[in-house]
Amino acid sequence: MKFYNIPPLFRFFAGSRLKWRVPGNEKKIYLTFDDGPHPEATPAVLSILAEHGIPATFFCVGENVVKHPVVYNQILKEGHQTGNHTFHHLNGWNTDTAVYEADIARCREVVDSGLFRPPYGRIKKQQSRIVSKEYTIVLWSALAGDFDPDCDADDCLKRILRYTRPGSIIVLHDNIKTIEKVKQILPAYIRHCKMKGYTFEVIKPDLFQKV
């Protein structure tokens, strides 16, 4: 089951350790990208962001950072935020908690950040208790679904526009499977949101302190 927008009841039972949006009524949006860095996809995303003067937050897979350190450094050099997305892109539901914790720690060796996003959004309660002691666990307000072969770029764009609100956290992906869609979705989304009076910011742990 894919939750493109997390139902309020699910959020309630998931608990306060998981952050789904940034609190407040300011018209700010938080663009995030998962699974990079990738030597083709990530620079393409960075180019679009630079063209529009938009900052974003990249949740990086540790093994990809090791493979592509120049691209990772480009993310930081251009003023974007990064977050931990495990070293091996592990599904927490299918992973022993000790193994999961060790994989996050290994990613931290190459991604110095207090932000964490569980791959697939799947994390056990025991894992979230442990991880939240050192990280802010960031989920999402709207998942574009750019990874879904049954969704074209227009479908993905309509979905995130439908769920965009003040404080929304939006998820796209900077990997080779999604980049052609993202190159269509991202500029259109930015232009629409700017027209509606929204601004864009990076995610920082202290944004959630009032939750």
Which two tokens mark 56? 């974003």
What domains, with CATH codes, occur in the chain?
19-208 (3.20.20.370)
> pLDDT above 90 covers what percent of the chain?
89
Q: For 94-138, what is each residue's pLDDT tens digit?
A: 999 999 999 999 999 999 999 999 999 999 999 999 999 999 999
- The CA distance from 63 to 202, in Å, is 23
Give the phi and the psi of residue 146 in degrees, each rounded to 5: -65, -20
Model pLDDT, residue 10 = 45
Enter the pTM of the model.
0.93
Label residue 1 by pLDDT band (50, 70, 90): very low
Higher pLDDT, 17 or 33: 33
DSSP of 62-122, one letter per residue?
HHHHHH-HHHHHHHHHTT-EEEE--SS---GGGS-HHHHHHHHHHHHTT---SEE--GGG-
Which two tokens mark 38? 């990738």
- The answer to whether residue 15 scores a pLDDT higher than 80 is no
- The CA distance from 208 to 187, in Å, is 28
Lowest mean pLDDT among 8-12, 48-52, 149-153, 164-168: 8-12
Q: For 30-61, what is each residue's pLDDT tens digit?
A: 999 999 999 999 999 999 999 999 999 999 99
Give me the chain's average pLDDT, please. Answer: 93
Model pLDDT, residue 2 = 52
As a whole number, mean pLDDT of residues 16-40 equals 95
Model pLDDT, residue 17 = 87
- The answer to whether residue 9 scores a pLDDT higher than 70 is no
As a whole number, mean pLDDT of residues 147-176 equals 96
- Catalytic site residues? 34, 173
Instruction: Give the torsion sign (CA, 177, 181, 187, 193).
Output: negative
Model pLDDT, residue 16 = 76
Model pLDDT, residue 4 = 56
> pLDDT above 70 covers what percent of the chain?
92
Model pLDDT, residue 211 = 41
